[in-house]
Amino acid sequence: VRPGCFTTGSRVQPKKYMLLGGGQEGGKRSGTENVPYIVALGTAADIIMKRTEQGDLQWQQNAHWMKAMRYRLKKNLVKALGEDMVRDNGPDRHNYRLPNTLSIGIKSVQSGDLLNQIQRQVACSAGSACHASGEQLSPVLEAMCVPSEFARGTLRLSVGPDTTEEEIDKASAIIIREVTRQVGLGSTED
């Protein structure tokens, strides 16, 4: 079934949709498959398989480095703000998560307000990738059982194979400084 095949006029409409979207199409299936990107993903998979067969393990080294940078970012935030203020929204089992992405909930903050203050200094986004707008909680974060006090303050941060420890520490300091200002935790070290 293609998007837009069913109308709300006199034509027959299905009782239940097989695919639900994020609301861009009124609750019906949103979007169209991006064929060039699908082909590119397949090509990238072919390339990495060929390189792996030839002994090139650079992708594993990159993944290991990104995990370390992701962990450093989380550790910095938890150390400065406290375990009661910071929640890692990702899976507990680290082999179930992407090496480069950190979804972190910060208690007593609104992610949109935080993002507005830091977005020119730290590349990040608010909420979940599937629902990053408005006052409502993300259904994705709800499905992940993220408590509302953390879901409202969720930031998504990504690192890359070229991300440095210094960049992580600088981003951490900027986030910590703004959270501290918004929540009134007192002074923190930079």
Catalytic residues: 130
C-beta atoms surrounding 178 within 10 Å: 20
Residue 179, SS3?
helix
Any idea what DSSP says for residue 86?
E
Task: Give the total residue count for the chain.
Answer: 190
Question: Which stretches within 17-158 are classed as H helix?
Answer: 35-53, 58-81, 111-118, 139-143, 148-151
